A = this chain, B = another copy of it.
Amino acid sequence: MKQAASFFKVLADEARLKMLWLLFNQKELCVCDFMAVLEITQSKASRHLRTLYKAGLVTDRRAGQWGYYSLRPAEDFLTRECLETLRTAFTSNAEAVGLLKKLAVWLEKKSEAGCR
């Protein structure tokens, strides 16, 4: 039960919820994507991603100086179900939908700039 409590503790932060939501809808994102879309500092982005990583919810992949994060399929029942519920709930949430639009615009601009 302690385990369940610490899982919910990880979800108990708006920035981390938004990060998970972005990853629900985009396979891979790097730190600078989170910074741009969520309008947060690099230090904040990195710290929260670390928290998600330590909780086993995301994986990271280094490619040169870039770090890509993606969702990690949950092996635990509670984790899997709650994340799925979260995803469903956010799908009909205006703020969440707005974030996705912002993400799309950002990714578009990024690829236009050719900096992929």
Question: A residues near B, CB below 8 A?
Answer: 1-2, 4-6, 8-9, 11-14, 17-18, 21, 77-78, 81-82, 85-86, 88-90, 93, 95-96
Contact A14 B5 (CB under 8 A): yes
Among B8, B9, B95, contact of A1 (Cβ-Cβ < 8 Å): B95
The listed residue with most B CB atoms (<10 A of its CB), out of A4, A5, A13, A78, is A4
**What is the distance, in angstroms, from A19's C-beta to the closest C-beta of chain B?**
11
Tell which of A1, A9, A21, A90 has the most Cβ of chain B within 10 Å.
A1
Residues of chain B within 8 A (CB-CB) of A1 are 14, 17-18, 21, 90, 93, 95-96
- List, in ascending order, chain B residues with CB within 8 A of A14's CB: 1-2, 4-5
Nearest CB on B from A17, distance (A): 6
Contacting residue for A17 out of B4, B85, B95, CB 8 A: B4
Within the assembled complex, what's the spacing in Å between the Cα atoms of A63 and B78?
36
Judging by beta carbons under 8 Å apart, are A13 and B17 in contact?
no
- Across the A-B interface, the 9 shortest Cβ-Cβ residue pairs: A9-B12, A8-B11, A81-B85, A8-B12, A78-B89, A5-B14, A12-B12, A8-B8, A2-B14
